[in-house]
């Protein structure tokens, strides 16, 4: 990847790596893994370095970096296994609608603490009826003087309990999101703590947000200002970046194993069938990295629609390609690959989550189709 990074971006990447190797950072990461749930200790240190919301302008609490630089930071944090990287994407889902749709007042009040990491955020999107099943969403919003009264449930929310500021996605008026509500953690009627258990063992702040007659000031309603939902592009690419980290790790672990493991006194890498699988893994990783960084550079050039299209394409291709990498990694490890110690099978299961997160591939194929003026058949007369 270094072949197109600027000198400053390479220096930032190196500084992130040094930060992750610092004893205090490693100690915090170890404590967070032992404790489980939201990684508060790592989050605090990452926020102090300015990595949280680094792409937000300085006037709103960020560092003013472009998104390419932010992705360089996020990829290195993820590659080095810093626990904060596992929740930053969910935090970004709270920042992005405020950054691109929010009023000046909303940005000053809520974006500043989110961008600095002083407040934790989440994007509460999925209804129990299904994320894209808008007509059957149970969420209701009623006017009551200067407030909106919200009732409903959001499930599978990352940072569900920890988030001080919960960006609750309202039911779309058409087929795209156009409204979110800023809900504060301590507002009466906000209930969290109902964590769903993931297939891969371990604790996570990943659960349900119940909203029972929650009064939200009308000033906390954030409406599409004409920008559209293009800001989902960086969010989709963040999921793809998480998948790429799994793909890179799988390749490195499997290459090392196949060099060390022998068959008939020859290393496994000497077998063409093995080397070809390894090469295919490397190709998948390289294509994935190029898709991600080409797309995010389009965003930095304010070519938002092009970025959105390529981000949706990336969300189709990358998680499926990385899932194939993890499959091959498990196979090449043989029986050892099915043990927790080898990690590859657990990573393989984790890669399924990234195929599902922020909508599976076929939904993104519909999004891509619409950028070419092709109306998905399922809409059946809907706008």
The pLDDT tens digits along the chain (383 residues) read 556 899 999 999 999 999 999 999 999 999 999 988 899 999 999 999 999 999 999 999 999 999 999 999 999 999 999 999 999 999 999 999 999 999 999 999 999 999 999 999 999 999 999 988 888 999 999 999 999 999 999 999 999 999 999 999 999 877 689 999 999 999 999 999 777 777 776 657 889 999 999 999 999 999 999 999 999 999 999 999 999 999 999 999 999 999 999 999 999 999 999 999 999 999 999 999 999 999 999 999 999 999 999 999 999 999 999 999 999 999 999 999 888 888 898 899 889 999 999 999 999 999 999 999 998 766 655 65
Q: Are 78 and 199 in contact (CB under 8 A)?
A: no
Domain 228-379: CATH superfamily is: Butyryl-CoA Dehydrogenase, subunit A, domain 3 (1.20.140.10)
* Architecture per CATH, 121-223: Beta Barrel (2.40)
221-225-231 Cα angle (round to 5): 95
Q: Are 307 and 228 in contact (CB under 8 A)?
A: no
The structure tokens listed for 280 are: 């295919």
* Architecture per CATH, 7-116: Orthogonal Bundle (1.10)
Question: What is the per-residue pLDDT for 203?
Answer: 59
Q: Is 200 helix (H, G, I), strand (E, B) or coil?
A: coil
d(CA 97, CA 104): 13
Q: Where are the domains of the chain?
A: 7-116, 121-223, 228-379
Question: What is the per-residue pLDDT for 193?
Answer: 72
Question: What is the per-residue pLDDT for 202?
Answer: 61
Beta-strand runs (E) in 259-339: 262-263, 266-267
Beta bridge partners of 6: none
């Amino acid at each position: 990847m270094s072949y197109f990074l600027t000198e400053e971006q390479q220096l930032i990447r190196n500084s992130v790596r040094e930060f992750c190797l610092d004893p205090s950072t490693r100690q915090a990461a170890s404590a967070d893994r032992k404790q489980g749930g939201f990684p508060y200790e790592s989050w605090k240190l990452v926020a102090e370095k300015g990595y949280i919301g680094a792409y937000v302008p300085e006037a709103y609490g960020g560092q003013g970096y472009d998104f390419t630089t932010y992705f360089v930071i996020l990829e290195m944090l993820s590659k080095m296994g810093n626990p904060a990287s596992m929740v930053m994407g969910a935090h970004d889902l709270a920042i992005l609608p405020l950054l691109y749709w929010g009023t000046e007042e909303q940005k000053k009040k809520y974006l500043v603490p989110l961008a600095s990491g002083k407040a934790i955020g989440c994007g509460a999107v999925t209804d129990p009826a299904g994320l894209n099943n808008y007509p059957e969403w149970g969420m209701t919003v009623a006017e009551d003087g200067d407030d909106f009264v919200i009732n409903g449930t959001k499930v599978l929310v990352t940072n569900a309990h920890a988030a001080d500021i919960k960006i609750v996605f309202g039911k779309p008026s058409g087929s795209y999101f156009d409204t979110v509500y800023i809900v504060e953690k301590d507002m009466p009627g906000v209930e969290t703590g109902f964590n769903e258990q993931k297939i891969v063992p371990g604790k996570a702040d990943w659960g349900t947000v119940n909203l029972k007659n929650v009064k939200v000031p009308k000033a906390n309603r954030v409406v599409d200002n004409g920008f559209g939902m293009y800001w989902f592009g960086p969010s989709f690419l963040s999921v793809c970046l998480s998948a790429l980290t799994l793909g890179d790790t799988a390749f490195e672990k499997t290459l090392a194993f196949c060099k060390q493991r022998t068959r008939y006194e020859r290393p496994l890498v000497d077998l063409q069938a093995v080397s070809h699988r390894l090469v295919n893994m490397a190709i998948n990783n390289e294509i994935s990295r190029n898709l991600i960084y080409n797309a995010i550079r389009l965003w930095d050039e304010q070519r938002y629609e092009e970025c959105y299209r390529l981000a949706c394409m990336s969300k189709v291709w990358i998680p499926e390609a990385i899932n194939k990498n993890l499959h091959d990694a498990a196979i090449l490890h043989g029986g050892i690959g099915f043990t927790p110690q080898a990690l590859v099978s657990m990573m393989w299961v984790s890669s399924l989550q990234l195929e599902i997160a922020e909508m599976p591939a076929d939904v993104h194929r519909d999004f891509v189709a619409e950028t070419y003026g092709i109306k998905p058949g399922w809409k059946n007369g809907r706008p």
